[in-house]
Each structure stands twice: as structure tokens, then as C-alpha cells.
């Protein structure tokens, strides 16, 4: 078991993609995942197999799956193995596995995982004690809050958070303190869950008013806190003040949930009329579509649809309409565009969006005819798109035949998904290249790219344009 291979799988979504694993598990292919984890040392198959076996109460078998991975010392596998042992009631074995001392790993993340195992063993006070020296790492701080929820120790958690919060409040700009901004919403979250909302709201509200926050501010958390507890007046003040760009969406959704969509609409229309910066047209478009007012939504944002710059809301509108089952309305919008817009975007994304909408609307044959009428070299992912449309049209075997000869991870993944629908689980896994093959293909890709760059004319730039990746990397998902 090579740690480098495991790390590569995790960082690149290598091997069998997690969503493919999920589909196999949901459709009854647990044993195939168990076998693939063993034979191919596929991490995501192992994770899925462990999940399915634990769900069935087969903790001994789950440990047999994960133990070879955990034996490598790779931290994600150690964490998963400790969790299985705890659920199997092998507490001491779990804590021994999770303890960082024996593996020469002393990072804050490793101590966080050990603390989580201690919580699972019922030793919550010990877990907090382990984490206290590491709380300047915001991931550990976040872990402390998450793992102690429902453990009856909120006062102790607040006690250890207090000095860190006060340190940040004294000078948020001080070197080494800026990363601790997350302690403020963490403190409010623990107060909230312990029933002390009337303390949490003014405390975090004062932080927001004093602009005590870091690279990510705390206004959104504060707005959502107000929304969860029906503090509409305070939320309105936030959404009409200097934080309107952040608070607008929670405020609109709160009003909508209270049956006051008309107020939400009026609020957004006022912001749009005043030409305040922000994404208010997009927010209002979504609100109107949720209300079933499709024509009003389109009329609101249609003036952006031929814009060649970032303010164009056409694609957003297509997606939201599709989510509401309004595929035909969305299709109409793709057919009324200006020649200038089509020249810039037709081949880039508009045609592929239209074919997707046609496939969802039951017009797959019409979409296939459009594609086949175009020169093959003008359509990116031509065969993949046709195969998807064939499957949408119920011609699954034809789609499978179309995909089988195609190279690349995306084609293999699409083929696997179709085979899974037919419960051909072992065959689905077999068509996906294993980790060694995927890594070999990746190395070949980067070697070819380097050679092409070295032979490119020196006065033509690098010749590559935007960064891109090999077809069998994580971006294929």
C-alpha cells in the first residue's frame, strides 16, 4: 500500500470517483466495492465499502477492508479505521491506532483526529484537553466546535474559546492573530446551541459593527443567526446598511419563508433602482422563479442576455428555469440571441447548454440531429454528448456501444454510470482505469505538453492559453 498513491487518489479524485462509488452502493453493489478495494487498493471504493458494511452492522468485515489502508499510516485511513473500531466497540484498539505518538506525526490535524476518537470513546474532557494547545489552527478550532456538539460540555468549550476570542478582539490586525477570525462565529455558535441566543446575537453583532473579521467576514454567519431566530428587524437593519451585499440573500429568504415575498421583492427592486453594487438582479430573478413568475423573472434580467461581459445572467437563468422544470422556456432564451453574442459564445457554451436542455425536455433526437449536422471538429466532446442524449432517449445499449471505444476518464466514467443503471457493477468498475493506469496517463500527458512547449516557436508565447488538465484528472468529474 503506497501512501503516495493514496494521496494522489484523494487529491485528484483518482481511481473510481466518489459519486460512482455512491451509485454502486445505493443500487446494491456493496460486494463489488469490497472486492475492488482489496484488489485495486482503491481508496474511494474502500470508503464506500466501509460505509455499507457498517450500515449493515458488519464491523469486522469493515475493519478487514480498511485495515490495510490504515496500516500504511496514511492519516485519512487511520481516521477511518479508528471510526470503524469505535463502532465495533474496540475502544482501546481505536485509541491506540489514532494516537499520533507511534507514527511520528505531530501535526495539529492529527491531534484533531485523535481528539475525535476520544469523543467517540466518551472521553470528551480528554479530547478538549488534547485540542487546547492547537486551537490557533482554525481547522482544529472548527473541529472542537463540531465534535463537542450534543456532548453536554458547552460551558467548557466556551471557557477555552474565550481567551482566543478576546485576543482577536483586541487587535484583529496583529500578525499571527488574523487567522483566528473564525473564533467569533464559533463562540456564537456554541452560545446558540446551549440556549443562550440572547447572548450570542449581541456579542457577534458588536463584532460585526466593529468590523472585527478576517479574510472571510462574519456578517453572513450573523445574518443567518438572526434569520434562524426570527430577528427580522435586526436582519433588515443589516440588509439595508453597509452590509447589504452579504445580508440581502438571508433577509430575502427569511421574508419569503414568513410568507412576505412581496416585501422581499420590493426591497430588491429598491436596491436595483438605486443602482447599488451587488447581485440583486440575480437574487430577485431566483425569487420570482421560485414564486412561479417565470415571465416576470425573464423580463427582469433579459437586458443582460446579450452582454459580452460578466454581468450576463443568461446561463444562471437557464439553470434556475431548468431546476423548476421549465426546459422549454429556457430553450427559447437560447434561440433569440444577437449575432455578436453567438459569435462569442455559441461554440464555447451556448450550444452545449441547449443540447442539455433538449435532452432534459425529451427532445434528445432533435439535439442529436443538430449535432450530427455540424462538422465533427466544431463540437467539443461530440461523442460523449451524443451518448448522453441516446441514454436520455432510452437507447442505453446504443449509448454504451458509443462510449466503449472512447479514450479518457470522462468516457469511462459515463460508460460506468450507464452500466451501473443496469446493475452491471463489476463491469462498471472494470471499464474505469485503475490508479496505476491513470497515473501513467497523467505522466504521459504532462510529458507531451512539456515537449510541445519546448518545440513551440519562441515568438508565439506559450501557445496554451488558459490552464487545462489531463482528461483523466479530478477535473473530469
Flag whether pLDDT at 375 surpasses 60: yes
Instruction: Cell numbers for 155, please give them.
Output: 460551558
Which tens digit of pLDDT belongs to each residue from 81-126?
999 999 999 999 999 999 997 555 568 889 999 999 999 999 999 9
pLDDT at residue 452 in the model: 75
Which tens digit of pLDDT belongs to each residue from 311-368?
899 999 999 999 999 999 999 999 889 999 988 888 889 999 999 999 999 999 999 9
CA pair distance 170, 454, nearest whole angstrom: 54
CB 291 within 8 Å of CB 263: no
pLDDT at residue 178 in the model: 66
Average of per-residue pLDDT across 460-467: 33
What's 276-320 look like in SS3?
CCCCHHHHHHHHHHHCCCHHHHHHHHHHHCCCCCCCCCHHHHHHH
325 φ/ψ sector (left φ>0, alpha ψ -120 to 50, else beta): left
CA pair distance 180, 173, nearest whole angstrom: 10
464 DSSP 8-state letter: -
pLDDT at residue 278 in the model: 79
Structural domains of the chain, ranges and CATH numbers in brackets: 1-98 (1.25.40)
Percent of the chain with pLDDT over 90: 78
Q: Angle at Cα 374 formed by Cα 472 and Cα 470, nearest 5°?
A: 10
Flag whether pLDDT at 465 surpasses 60: no
Cα radius of gyration (the chain): 27
pLDDT at residue 215 in the model: 67
pTM for this model (two decimals): 0.86
Of all residues in the chain, what percent are helix, strand and coil, respectively (each to 5)?
A: 70, 0, 30
CB 160 within 8 Å of CB 180: no
Amino acid at each position: 500500500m503506497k501512501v503516495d498513491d493514496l494521496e494522489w487518489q484523494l487529491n485528484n479524485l483518482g481511481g473510481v470517483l466518489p459519486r460512482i462509488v455512491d451509485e454502486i452502493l445505493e443500487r446494491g453493489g456493496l460486494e463489488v466495492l469490497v472486492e475492488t478495494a482489496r484488489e485495486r487498493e482503491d481508496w474511494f471504493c474502500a470508503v464506500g465499502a466501509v460505509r455499507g458494511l457498517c450500515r449493515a452492522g458488519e464491523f469486522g468485515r469493515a475493519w478487514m477492508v480498511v485495515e490495510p489502508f490504515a496500516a500504511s499510516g496514511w492519516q485519512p485511513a487511520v481516521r477511518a479505521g479508528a471510526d470503524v473500531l469505535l463502532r465495533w466497540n474496540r475502544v482501546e484498539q481505536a485509541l491506540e491506532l489514532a494516537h499520533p505518538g507511534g507514527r511520528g506525526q505531530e501535526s495539529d490535524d492529527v491531534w484533531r483526529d485523535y481528539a475525535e476518537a476520544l469523543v467517540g470513546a466518551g472521553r470528551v474532557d480528554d479530547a478538549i484537553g488534547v485540542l487546547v494547545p492547537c486551537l490557533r489552527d482554525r481547522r482544529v478550532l472548527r473541529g472542537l466546535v463540531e465534535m463537542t456538539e450534543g456532548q453536554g460540555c458547552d460551558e467548557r468549550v466556551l471557557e477555552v474559546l474565550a481567551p482566543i476570542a478576546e485576543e482577536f478582539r483586541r487587535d484583529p490586525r496583529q500578525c499571527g492573530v488574523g487567522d483566528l477570525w473564525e473564533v467569533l462565529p464559533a463562540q456564537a455558535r456554541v452560545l446558540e446551541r446551549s440556549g443562550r441566543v440572547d447572548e450570542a446575537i449581541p456579542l457577534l453583532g458588536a463584532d460585526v459593527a466593529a468590523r472585527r473579521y478576517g479574510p472571510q467576514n462574519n456578517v453572513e454567519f450573523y445574518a443567518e443567526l438572526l434569520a434562524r431566530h426570527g430577528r427580522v428587524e435586526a436582519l433588515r437593519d443589516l440588509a439595508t446598511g453597509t452590509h447589504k451585499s452579504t445580508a440581502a440573500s438571508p433577509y430575502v429568504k427569511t421574508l419569503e419563508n414568513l410568507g412576505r415575498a412581496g416585501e422581499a421583492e420590493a426591497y430588491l427592486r429598491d436596491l436595483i433602482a438605486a443602482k447599488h453594487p451587488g447581485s440583486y438582479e440575480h437574487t430577485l430573478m431566483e425569487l420570482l422563479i421560485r414564486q412561479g413568475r417565470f415571465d416576470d423573472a425573464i423580463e427582469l434580467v433579459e437586458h443582460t442576455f446579450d452582454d459580452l461581459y460578466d454581468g450576463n445572467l443568461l446561463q444562471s437563468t437557464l439553470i434556475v428555469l431548468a431546476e423548476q422544470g421549465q426546459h422549454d422556456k429556457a430553450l427559447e432564451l437560447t434561440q433569440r440571441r444577437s449575432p455578436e453574442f453567438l459569435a462569442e459564445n455559441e461554440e464555447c457554451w451556448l450550444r452545449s447548454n441547449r443540447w442539455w436542455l433538449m435532452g432534459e425536455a425529451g427532445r434528445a433526437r432533435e439535439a442529436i440531429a443538430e449535432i450530427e449536422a455540424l462538422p465533427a471538429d466544431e463540437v467539443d466532446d461530440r461523442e460523449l454528448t451524443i451518448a448522453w442524449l441516446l441514454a436520455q432517449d432510452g437507447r442505453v445499449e446504443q449509448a454504451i456501444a458509443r462510449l466503449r471505444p472512447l479514450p479518457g476518464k470522462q468516457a469511462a466514467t459515463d460508460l460506468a454510470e450507464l452500466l451501473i443503471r443496469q446493475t452491471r457493477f463489476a463491469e462498471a468498475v472494470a471499464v474505469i482505469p485503475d490508479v496505476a493506469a491513470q497515473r501513467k496517463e497523467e505522466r504521459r500527458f504532462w510529458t507531451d505538453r512539456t515537449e510541445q512547449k519546448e518545440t513551440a516557436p519562441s515568438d508565439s508565447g506559450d501557445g496554451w492559453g488558459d490552464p487545462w488538465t489531463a482528461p483523466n484528472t479530478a477535473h473530469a468529474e
